[in-house]
Chains A and B, each alone.
Chain A
Amino acid sequence: MEKSIENIWKEGFEAETKLSAPAIANFYDKKSKLITQKINKRTKKDNLSLLPVALIISAILVFMGEFFLAIYNAVLIVALFFANKKMLRDLNSINIQDNTYYYLLNYKKQVKKIIKSSTLIAGLGFPMVIIPAYWVFFQDTKVMIKLQEMDSILAMMLVAGLALFFSIVAISGYKLSNKMMYGNLLERLESTIEDMEELMKD
């Protein structure tokens, strides 16, 4: 008489000798690699997108006859691209070594450094692009003539105020876009590190 599935299961597993549990090791290795790979891939793509942006802005400015402004913007954006590229190279070169936990800690430290530098670049760079552009575009308008006629200290204070305003706008914009694009991945990176710390404590 043929066996029922219940008997095959019961007798099969009773006789089974290879039912030993796999070792619990390197829980987080794969997870960590997946997170960092995703961040690396996204940052690379993000940085590459600066090149078409530089090209489009320059083309528009050339079309409008603003050659000097076109070159100025292109140089600034391409410089930003190379600065980012260097920072991302440093991020990719972090040594995994034997310990995933220390690798993630180093990685997090480097990411924070990049965010800090990028915030500074956004805060300084945006006014550096906008104010000269504004100056060139509205050169002979009433507002600009009035500004030039103003007391020089007052005019400088006004420009500084505008620069500060654009700086705040740029930093807020950068922080928001950063949260939207990388927020989830950075949270996962953080929680993986926390999990590993808890695992080590337990």
Chain B
Amino acid sequence: MSRDFYTQFILPYVGIIIKICRAYTDNEEDFQDYYQEVCLQLWKSRDNFKGESKWSTWVYRISLNVSLSLLRKDKKISKKSVELPAIEDKVEAASDPFQDESLKMLYQAIKKLSEVDRAIILLYLEEKSYQEIAEIMGLSPINIGVKINRIKKKLKTLLHGKVY
């Protein structure tokens, strides 16, 4: 991967890639793997980008697809190897390296959501329009609106009413 490609097409979106990868991983090693795989897939898929949507939309789509497919693969492997405790128990405060306590708690709550809900709320929090979220997720904008309201309610419950 050339430095130019990284600087021009990945670096401006590093923030969102990190946020997405963090939302789907529970430890630093997995996070690094997911991040590298996303960058690699962005580089490999660069010729498939036809410019029909914004490059940022492409980045979100690839990041989510890669994270979801790696997560499913990891789940399969862990199911095969040993019976692990529920995912909720694995999500610990130490897994997210954020300084801000409220942000750390919010991330833990987000990780307790379903895979798709996690993707939708991440895009919403990144201030993407319903239209853009719908485009990335392959759903209708109305559906997205309904889902976001439900997810926000779920998050409120998970955060024990500490935020609203």
Contacts and interface: CB of A to CB of B under 8 A. Distances in A.
Nearest to B96: A18
B32 A12 contact: no
Interface in A110-149: none
Nearest to B31: A22
A9 interface: yes
A153 interface: no
A4 B163 contact: yes
B162 interface: yes
B124 to A, nearest CB: 8
B36 interface: yes
B103 A12 contact: yes
A19 B15 contact: yes
B49 interface: no
Interface string B30-55: 01110110011001100000000000
The prevalent SS among residues of B at the interface is helix
Interface stretch (B1-9, B81-89, B137-145): B1-9
A64 interface: no
A202 B5 contact: yes
Contacts of A24: 1, 6, 36, 39
Interface in A11-37: 11-13, 15-19, 21-22, 24, 27, 30
A12 B22 CA distance: 14
Interface in B70-102: 97-100, 102
Contacts of A8: 100, 102-103, 106, 163
Given A19-B18, A21-B18, A12 B35 contact: no
A30 B33 contact: yes
A187 interface: no
B128 interface: no
Interface residues on B, range: 20 to 34
A154 interface: no
A196 to B, nearest CB: 11
A90 interface: no
A18 B98 contact: yes
B14 to A, nearest CB: 5
B99 to A, nearest CB: 6
Given A5-B159, A8-B100, A9-B103, 20 more contacts: A2-B163, A5-B125, A5-B155, A5-B156, A8-B163, A12-B106, A13-B19, A13-B103, A16-B99, A18-B97, A18-B98, A21-B35, A22-B32, A22-B35, A22-B36, A24-B36, A27-B40, A195-B44, A199-B1, A199-B43
Interface of A: 2-6, 8-13, 15-19, 21-22, 24, 27, 30, 195, 199, 202
Interface of B: 1-2, 5-6, 11, 14-15, 17-19, 31-33, 35-36, 39-40, 43-44, 97-100, 102-103, 106, 125, 152, 155-156, 159, 162-164
27 contacts: A2-B162, A2-B163, A3-B102, A5-B163, A6-B125, A8-B100, A8-B163, A12-B98, A12-B100, A13-B15, A13-B103, A15-B99, A15-B100, A16-B99, A16-B100, A18-B98, A19-B14, A21-B18, A21-B35, A24-B1, A24-B36, A24-B39, A27-B36, A30-B33, A199-B43, A202-B2, A202-B5
The 3 A-B pairs of least Cβ separation, nearest first, read A12-B103, A12-B100, A9-B125
